[in-house]
Amino acid sequence: VPAHKTVLAIHSEYFRAMFTSGLQESSQSSTTLDEIPSDVLREIVQYMYTGNLQVNKENVQDFIIGCDLLQMENLKSECCNVMDINTDVSNCVWQFADHFHCTSVCNKAVNIIKQQFCYVCQQEEFVSLPSNRLVTILKWKELNLGKEGENTVARCVVCWLEKNLDVKVEDVKEIIMSVRLCHVTDEGIDALMKTHIVEQNPELQRFTAVHRESRFLALTRITSRSGQKRFKSNSLNNAEKRSLNHPDALLRLLWSKRSKASG
């Protein structure tokens, strides 16, 4: 792609550093950028000369990646605005937006995932999430789980585990700990125990069983009789249940109670 070094340096911090820092490229007549597709680079260079760029929902991610590499923050921000407008439940791009620091897109995607979790968790992109991203989502308190409650979470974990057979044991433990197992039916627990990776690993079998029992006992200890009745009668909504039964909250409450008893 032919271009003047001065024009490139004016619009791009990447090129400015390349051409003004005494690097080898500053004295060469050409340079190679393997990280950006040629058609995307051509459009970006043309934008430097004309101020015009045709961005749509099909090519916006390519342009954001290119702008991020070339350190063209203003153009990247404009591309993020286009992505924000086109973000919906069918193309939730939370992981991409978070990685490239598209804040408004990321916030919108997070809200979509929370509100439409029952739909989002059934999409192919969901089972492609890395384990740490999956855990992050499952720990959100405001997930709309629908009529099936925590069984929805258990079911999506089963699907994820069956599609990611090479996941590490410690990551599986973290995922299982993100499920409120005391609110999952016996059928849901059985499905989790029968996933290939759990079924083939005695350590994970024991861990799942112990985790389920410990969560139930902890919940019993911190709730009053009336609280237990309300909990079992489903008069608490799903968000309240997840908040009450969050592992960090349980640990804090149990530790506080134990400290008072020992004093």
Report pLDDT digits (tens) over 121-142: 998 889 999 999 999 999 998 8
Q: What confidence tier does 248 reach under pLDDT thresholds 50, 70, 90? A: very low
pLDDT, tens digit, for every residue of 182-208? 888 889 888 998 999 998 888 888 888
Is residue 255 pLDDT above 80, yes or no? no
Structure tokens at 24: 């080898």
Residue 35 has phi, psi (to 5 degrees) of -75, -15
Contact 144, 116 (CB under 8 A): yes
Min mean pLDDT across 103-112, 169-178, 232-241 is at: 232-241
For the residues 216-238, what does the mean pLDDT come to? 50
Give the C-alpha separation, 62 to 97, whole Å.
12
Half-sphere exposure of 206 (CA within 13 A, CB side): 3
The reported pLDDT for the residue numbered 262 is: 36
> If we measure between CA atoms, which residue out of 256, 160, 245, 259 comes closest to residue 211?
245
Q: What is the pLDDT of residue 252?
A: 36
Percent of the chain at pLDDT exceeding 90: 52
The pLDDT value recorded for residue 170 is 94
Please state the rounded mean pLDDT for residues 203-217.
76
Which two tokens mark 50?
Answer: 């004309």
Mean pLDDT of 231-252: 47
What mean pLDDT, rounded, does the chain reach?
Answer: 82
Q: How far is Cα 143 from Cα 204, in angstroms, rounded to an integer?
A: 26
Nearest alpha-carbon partner for 250 in 199, 183, 201, 180: 180
Reported as a single tens digit per residue, the pLDDT across 139-160 is: 998 899 999 999 999 999 999 9
Higher pLDDT, 233 or 30: 30
What was the pLDDT predicted at 237?
A: 53
Reference 6, options 26, 36, 35; nearest CA is 26
Task: Give the C-alpha separation, 226 to 233, whole Å.
Answer: 10
Q: By CB neighbour count within 10 A (0-12 exposed, 13-18 middle, 19+ buried), where does 187 fall?
A: exposed
Would you state the pLDDT for residue 39?
A: 93
pLDDT score at 70: 95
- The arithmetic mean of pLDDT across residues 32-44, rounded, is 91
Tokens for 93? 């791009």
Taking only the tens place, the pLDDT of each residue in 51-91 is 999 999 899 999 999 999 999 999 999 999 999 998 888 77
In this prediction, residues 165-189 reach a mean pLDDT of 90
- DSSP SS3 for 179: coil
Instruction: Specify the 3-state DSSP secondary structure of 32.
Output: coil
Q: What is the pLDDT of residue 143?
A: 92
Joined together, the tokens standing for residue 90 give 């069918």
Residues in contact with 99: Cβ distance below 8 Å, sequence separation at least 6, in sequence order: none
Q: List the one residue out of 192, 113, 203, 184 whose CA is nearest residue 160.
A: 192
Alpha carbon 137 to its chain centroid, in Å, reads 6
Angle of helix 169-177 relative to helix 131-138, nearest 10 degrees? Answer: 10
Over its C-alpha atoms, the chain yields an Rg (Å, rounded) of 25
Q: What average pLDDT score do residues 94-103 get?
A: 91
Alpha-carbon gap, residue 137 to 146, rounded angstroms: 16
Name all domains of the chain by residue range, CATH numbers in brackets: 1-82 (3.30.710.10), 116-229 (1.25.40.420)
19 in Cβ contact with 25 (< 8 Å)? yes
Judge whether residue 162 has pLDDT over 70.
yes
